[in-house]
Amino acid sequence: MSTLIENNAVTAIPAAESTAALTHFRASLQFETDCSDVASALASGSPGFVLLDVRSPALFASGHLPGAVNLMHGKIIASKLADYSHDTLFVTYCAGPHCNGATRGAIRLAQLGRPVKVMIGGVTGWLDEGFDLAVSELD
């Protein structure tokens, strides 16, 4: 059976060979996780990470992932993390795929030597997966 390759943006550059693809995709999971995996870990009662909502307090109060801690990405400094052991894994999220706040928060955590992953999809992805948000009052 022969494979017909059309000349389009998808096929113009051949896919990586399988071992390179395997290395790449395995490595990507060291940097990110998804909403379903986060929800499953949270439901276990012992997720093994701190879920960090890096949006503003007002957005956090209007709807956030259950169990999340609010710390805006621009406010992530060593003193705010003092209550967490140095090997605590943080999982950052923001509004959704159109927002780079989770990445900005992950950069700040990595600069402080903290283990970190980004939850891809953010709040938008969480809702798309059918999960509920928690709400809280502003202090």
Residue 124, Cβ neighbours under 10 Å: how many? 16
Residue type, 63: G
List 90's β-bridge partners, or say none.
50, 116
Q: What does the pLDDT read at residue 7?
A: 81
- 136 touches 125 (CB < 8 A): no
| Superfamily of chain region 32-129 | Rhodanese-like domain (3.40.250.10)
Q: pTM above the 0.75 mark?
A: yes
Q: Where are the domains of the chain?
A: 32-129
Q: Residues 65-83: what's their mean pLDDT?
A: 97
4-8, 19-23, 43-47, 127-131: the lowest-pLDDT one:
4-8
